[in-house]
Structure 1
Amino acid sequence: MSAVPSQPSQPSKPSKGSANSKAGVAPASGPTRTYRLLGLSLELDEPEAGLRARACGKLGIAPEELRGFRLARKSLDARRRGRRSGTGSGGHLRFVVHADLVLPSDFKSARLARLLRQGKVREAPAVGSLEPTRVHNSIAAPGKRAARAVVVGSGPAGIFAALVLVRGGFEVTVLERGAPLRERAARLARFHKTRVADTESNVLFGEGGAGTYSDGKLYTRVDDPLEVPILEELVRWGAPPEILYDSRAHIGTDRLHKLLPRLRGDLQERGVKFCFNTRLEGLCLDGAADNRQRSLRAVRTSAGELPLDVLFLAPGSSARDTWEMLHAAGVSFEARPFQLGSRVEHPQELVNRGRYGGDGTVCELLGAASYNLVSRPGADGGACHSFCMCPGGRIVASVNEPGRLCTNGMSNSRHSSPYANAALVVTVGPETFGPGPFAGVALQRELEEAAFAAGGGDYTAPAQGVADFLAGRASRSCRPTSYGFGVRPGRIDELLPEQARRALARGLVRFENSIPGFGGAEGLLVGLETRSACPVMMPRDRLSGRAVGFANIYPVGEGAGFAGGIMSSALDGARIASGLLVAGL
């Protein structure tokens, strides 16, 4: 078995124009302590370069006392809409910035002590490293052959697990059932031309995983020590430096397609072998293993048998056939609550007006507006929220099984489409889909088959105007949409489970209060969104990260049920791999 030939690329360096470099990060020397200053206000047209001096002023320190400075988080505050503040353009909107300041460890001041007591300053979260600090001698003992790791899946969990493992001395092979990027794009184009689904290379499978055909959202709600080093690696591979602090950071599908070859080239230079168009088809158990802790000696693939010492499973959240094979081979699975709903689309201009108040200058400064909407549960429906919002984006067919249709969204870095879309989803559990580890998968398939049939059986999507959905009536026609296969009038309200229909109806009414017109005639519900979360989990030991009952299988990422997006998947893969380096084989 051999990896697909490719020309490794040199990793790119961070841009000199990044906000943190402008802000004046200085190298620290001697013992230091890092504090996070919360809530600096920044007008929309105010340069970031002045934040360093303002932060020093807040803490009452001279700039020369500062050992280092970086922006930790920058977010848009739209809560003051309706009354203007400041003199900058669109003063009713502003940025809120958190900044990290590196000071001598013995630095003390009354002002700093007061701000710490008030909660306006806190110690900054620890920053970890993807470089191994300690490697167990069972992995890298002198004179011993390198331990062999097989990683299934080239999405973020698999890639960052591979990066950590190869840095720790493992011989790493990445198996990817889909194609490398260029071939993947060609096969996806063929699907759009022929309307014949490709089960192996599609929006979901192939180099980079499903995230390759999203807009590369990098949101996470946790302060994980590995978050910063993961983002720094992405910048090194070509992502914009702003992802290091932007609260709504994204890369863009177009930039992801430029980044992935650099990423792969970097790993290949380190010795990682990539085997594309290669499916995992079976597990080869070590006959000497006891019944309590089974161990693998190899895996069976579509290209032959591959020996290993450890197996990292990062198959992605749509690898249903792989899950079924693993379950038959003895890997434990549990059902997991997941989200389902529909993809809603509006003119981007409607969202801009709702978020920016119709100020064209603000729109020029900030670009296409986004939203994050939540409706709490009530007597007339459960909780509903927006997910994977794509400003200036388009709706795509998220398909890997013939005869089934699921929608998703993506956008390029410029957000230049005239449409905005997002999933509106509700969480469902065993009370909706029933008992059994794959009952949620069965519900997903049932809904996707119904959506496929309602669209006419050729990946045209059923669609219903938001106003018609709320009124419980069929749409006579559908406005233009970004969905590439086209739409036809359908009853989204009848395709959804009743629990989800009520929650979406309640949410659409509530969201009208946040964005006028959201629940009106300009909104369109397109298809069913069934794969915004993984419906299964592979239980693993809390301390070691191993799959329950196995000595050398490590399930990671979204497809294992432990993550929900690019960043959380990357963090999970890197964290479990780092733990293995310390604990040993």
Structure 2
Amino acid sequence: MLRIRDLILPETHDVSELYYHAAQVLHIRASDIAALHIFRRSLDARKKPDLRWVYTVDVTLRSGEGAVLRRCRSAKITREAPYVYHIPRCTAAERPVVVGFGPAGMFAALVLAKAGLRPLVLERGDPAPLRREKVERFWGGGPLDPESNVQFGEGGAGAFSDGKLNTGTKNERGRWVLQQFVRFGAQEEILYDAKPHVGTDVLFHVIQNLREEVLRLGGEVRFGARLTGLETQDGRITGVRWIEDGAERSFACRDVILAIGHSARDTFRWLHAAGIPMQPKPFAMGVRIEHPQAVIDRAQYGKPRGELPPADYKLAVHLPDGGAAYTFCMCPGGQVVAAASQPGGVVTNGMSYAARGGENANSALLASVTPEDFPEPGPLGGMLWQEQIEQACFRLGGADYHAPAQLLGDFLAHRPSAAEGGIRPTYRPGVRLCDLHDALPKKLTDTLEQAMPRLAGLLPGFDAPDALLTAPETRSSSPVRIVRGEDCQSELRGLYPCGEGAGYAGGILSAAVDGMRCAEAVLSRTEDKT
């Protein structure tokens, strides 16, 4: 197989043209190509409004690949072998336990199930259909279920998001993750788009199909099962305890993959009390910012988007005082969502459907914070700060899960907003206009104010006075790292802290990859491999 990079096609084209362009680069006839597959596709908008698509393709020739490669002598052409992820089969009698069924837990369970180990999965939240019902009820003004919400339940926090599947971490396992998403119902384009996304509506089906595969392979998934304790002997795991249907249950095991997500604060508390080594870690907090999607399209494309996909952005600036601000989890054509998981706290996040068809674009607008900034010391200092901010925003929003919001121009002028501008808020159950300085720490507001003109220099219109800020965005990543070694195990042997909640990932794809790595660590220690 030959891989050809940097095939340039105009904004409007037919993908069949790739055969012609690949043949031109290889100095062969198009009919000599037996098969062509897109490996990567990106949109080059650097010379807007003159836009170009850039492709990397894999081609199989009918014969003579070696001779063609030698004749071309181009750095853009390489010989590649298809990536194959190998999972060994095991016959061990003891079943591992996976705690949490978000991306890390799902892919850990999938790998273990494919290896034949029949994992037991404990997920505190509900299966996807019931979870979605409860979330929609909450967004409509109903009660918050602390056990099943945007943070907890089948699919994890990523189930209510844009479903981004890109990561800055280069790991070949990511290819296999994308292949499984497609296998379970995601669109094939995620295999080659430079910025792949699934959309929350498609993820709803993908995660259920993945769960069915785990079950088919002998695994077991228990919903409404909240981990309450670890049984140990001589410094290693011997079992787990959990609450299910109001009763405490237990299971003997020697391997536990702990993929609890970044919001399992009760679990963080008792793990810390139990002496599991943990550290505070840097993370980021701030607000959600909304603009009209059409404004973002014009800024990024230099014209209305037409048939192009809704434009996105990713911005970051470093400030003279050493601080930093950046955008995160940008949702084209999306909505800001209520993402609380604890009574008495307001949390925001962003979400898009696969079509990204909403009138607004939104993104987290975050300020980086470090353990030195935390008001309280210790491993849980950042988590406690998150709670304080969420509770303050709950009160400022009216104590009914409405979120406090402010127009950007008013925020920069330090005056409360009295009326909406040209942007209709998407957050449900609703927003209450105010001055966000009354709830957000000065560290965050100062950083965001300093960063705004610099961010606007990167994306014209980003500092529009009627851009809407909704607060708070506190759950961008875990404020805690559960310490583990090179073998992915905690000091408590047999415990594998995993994924975003444990501080080792930062999104759906990287969490899924970390779940695979932890599953591989279990397999490498499991006896009687076949």
Q: TM-score range by the shorter chain?
A: over 0.9
Partners of 1:301 and 1:412 in 2: CA distance: 34
Identify the residue that residue 279 of structure 2 maps to in structure 1.
Answer: 334
The unaligned stretches of length 5 or more in structure 2 are none
Q: Deviations over 1:72-105 (max 9, x none)?
A: 22111111015xxxxxxxxx11222222345777
Matches within 5 A, 1:243-262: 243-262=190-209
Deviation of 1:147 after TM superposition, in Å, equals 2.5
Checking the alignment, whether the CA contact within 8 Å between 1:44 and 1:365 is kept in structure 2 is no
Deviation of 1:420 after TM superposition, in Å, equals 0.9
Alignment partner of 1:45 is 2:12: yes
Distance 1:108 1:44, change over 3 A: closer
Checking the alignment, whether the CA contact within 8 Å between 1:126 and 1:225 is kept in structure 2 is no
- Of 150, 156, 169 in structure 2, the residue corresponding to residue 209 of structure 1 is 156
Matches within 5 A, 1:123-134: 127-129=83-85, 131-132=86-87, 134=88
Identify the residue that residue 157 of structure 1 maps to in structure 2.
Answer: 104
Distance 1:312 1:57, change over 3 A: same
Identify the residue that residue 483 of structure 1 maps to in structure 2.
Answer: 427
Identify the residue that residue 556 of structure 1 maps to in structure 2.
Answer: 498
Q: Is the partner of 1:179 in helix, strand or coil?
A: coil
Identify the residue that residue 12 of structure 1 maps to in structure 2.
Answer: none
Deviation of 1:35 after TM superposition, in Å, equals 4.9
Partners of 1:198 and 1:388 in 2: CA distance: 25
Distance 1:37 1:477, change over 3 A: same
Query: AA paired with 2:429?
Result: F
Checking the alignment, whether the CA contact within 8 Å between 1:562 and 1:569 is kept in structure 2 is yes
- Of 254, 258, 264 in structure 2, the residue corresponding to residue 319 of structure 1 is 264
Checking the alignment, whether the CA contact within 8 Å between 2:26 and 2:68 is kept in structure 1 is no
Distance 1:329 1:370, change over 3 A: same
497-506 or 516-525, which deviates more? 497-506
Matches within 5 A, 1:429-508: 429-433=370-374, 434-479=376-421, 480-508=424-452
Deviation of 1:265 after TM superposition, in Å, equals 1.5
Checking the alignment, whether the CA contact within 8 Å between 1:146 and 1:171 is kept in structure 2 is no
Deviation of 1:111 after TM superposition, in Å, equals 5.3
Identify the residue that residue 21 of structure 2 maps to in structure 1.
Answer: 54
Identify the residue that residue 179 of structure 2 maps to in structure 1.
Answer: 232
Runs of 4+ in 1 over 6 A off after TM superposition: none
Deviation of 1:62 after TM superposition, in Å, equals 5.1
Partners of 1:107 and 1:172 in 2: CA distance: 49
Partners of 2:218 and 2:342 in 1: CA distance: 34
Partners of 1:358 and 1:208 in 2: CA distance: 37
Identify the residue that residue 57 of structure 2 maps to in structure 1.
Answer: 99
Q: Deviations over 1:217-241 (max 9, x none)?
A: 1111233221111111111100000
Q: Is the partner of 2:306 in helix, strand or coil?
A: helix
Partners of 1:384 and 1:40 in 2: CA distance: 35
TM-score by length of 1: 0.84
Identify the residue that residue 538 of structure 1 maps to in structure 2.
Answer: 482
Deviation of 1:505 after TM superposition, in Å, equals 2.0
Query: AA paired with 2:457?
Result: N
Q: Deviations over 1:389-431 (max 9, x none)?
A: 1111111111011111111110111112111110011211012
Query: AA paired with 1:265?
Result: E
Aligned-pair identity (%)? 39
Deviation of 1:195 after TM superposition, in Å, equals 4.3
Query: AA paired with 2:294?
Result: E
Partners of 2:416 and 2:435 in 1: CA distance: 6
Distance 1:148 1:505, change over 3 A: same
Identify the residue that residue 20 of structure 1 maps to in structure 2.
Answer: none
Checking the alignment, whether the CA contact within 8 Å between 1:382 and 1:499 is kept in structure 2 is no
Checking the alignment, whether the CA contact within 8 Å between 1:463 and 1:478 is kept in structure 2 is no
Alignment partner of 1:353 is 2:298: yes
Checking the alignment, whether the CA contact within 8 Å between 2:140 and 2:429 is kept in structure 1 is no
Distance 1:61 1:171, change over 3 A: same
Query: AA paired with 1:403?
Result: G
How many residues in Structure 1 have an aligned counterpart in Structure 2?
518
Deviation of 1:514 after TM superposition, in Å, equals 4.0
Deviation of 1:196 after TM superposition, in Å, equals 2.9
Checking the alignment, whether the CA contact within 8 Å between 2:257 and 2:518 is kept in structure 1 is no
Checking the alignment, whether the CA contact within 8 Å between 1:227 and 1:571 is kept in structure 2 is yes
Checking the alignment, whether the CA contact within 8 Å between 2:69 and 2:78 is kept in structure 1 is no
Deviation of 1:569 after TM superposition, in Å, equals 0.4
Distance 1:575 1:61, change over 3 A: farther
Partners of 2:130 and 2:211 in 1: CA distance: 15
Q: Deviations over 1:115-134 (max 9, x none)?
A: 22xxx3456597241x41x4
Partners of 1:35 and 1:498 in 2: CA distance: 55
Q: Deviations over 1:234-280 (max 9, x none)?
A: 11100000000111211111111122222221221111111000100
Q: Is the partner of 2:307 in helix, strand or coil?
A: helix
Query: AA paired with 1:247?
Result: A
- Of 443, 447, 454 in structure 2, the residue corresponding to residue 510 of structure 1 is 454
Checking the alignment, whether the CA contact within 8 Å between 2:173 and 2:513 is kept in structure 1 is yes
Q: Is the partner of 1:516 in helix, strand or coil?
A: coil
Checking the alignment, whether the CA contact within 8 Å between 1:455 and 1:461 is kept in structure 2 is yes
Identify the residue that residue 329 of structure 2 maps to in structure 1.
Answer: 388
Matches within 5 A, 1:51-450: 51-61=18-28, 69-82=36-49, 92-101=50-59, 106-107=66-67, 109=69, 112-113=72-73, 115-116=74-75, 120-121=76-77, 127-129=83-85, 131-132=86-87, 134-135=88-89, 139-140=90-91, 146-286=93-233, 289=234, 294-303=235-244, 304-359=249-304, 363-379=305-321, 382-433=323-374, 434-450=376-392
Deviation of 1:541 after TM superposition, in Å, equals 1.1
Partners of 1:126 and 1:464 in 2: CA distance: 51
42-51 or 486-495, which deviates more? 486-495
Query: AA paired with 2:427?
Result: Y
Partners of 2:46 and 2:434 in 1: CA distance: 37
Partners of 2:60 and 2:371 in 1: CA distance: 49
Deviation of 1:522 after TM superposition, in Å, equals 2.7
Checking the alignment, whether the CA contact within 8 Å between 2:317 and 2:455 is kept in structure 1 is yes
421-430 or 500-509, which deviates more? 500-509
Partners of 1:68 and 1:499 in 2: CA distance: 56
Deviation of 1:583 after TM superposition, in Å, equals 3.8
Checking the alignment, whether the CA contact within 8 Å between 1:179 and 1:201 is kept in structure 2 is yes
Identify the residue that residue 22 of structure 1 maps to in structure 2.
Answer: none
71-80 or 154-163, which deviates more? 71-80
Checking the alignment, whether the CA contact within 8 Å between 2:2 and 2:65 is kept in structure 1 is no
572-581 or 497-506, which deviates more? 497-506
302-311 or 385-394, which deviates more? 302-311
Checking the alignment, whether the CA contact within 8 Å between 1:492 and 1:528 is kept in structure 2 is no
Deviation of 1:488 after TM superposition, in Å, equals 1.5
Checking the alignment, whether the CA contact within 8 Å between 1:195 and 1:458 is kept in structure 2 is no
Q: Deviations over 1:286-343 (max 9, x none)?
A: 3xx2xxxx11221011031112231110001101111112222232111110011110
Query: AA paired with 1:309?
Result: R
Deviation of 1:347 after TM superposition, in Å, equals 1.4
Partners of 1:124 and 1:331 in 2: CA distance: 44
Partners of 2:371 and 2:170 in 1: CA distance: 31
Deviation of 1:107 after TM superposition, in Å, equals 4.0
Partners of 1:222 and 1:35 in 2: CA distance: 25
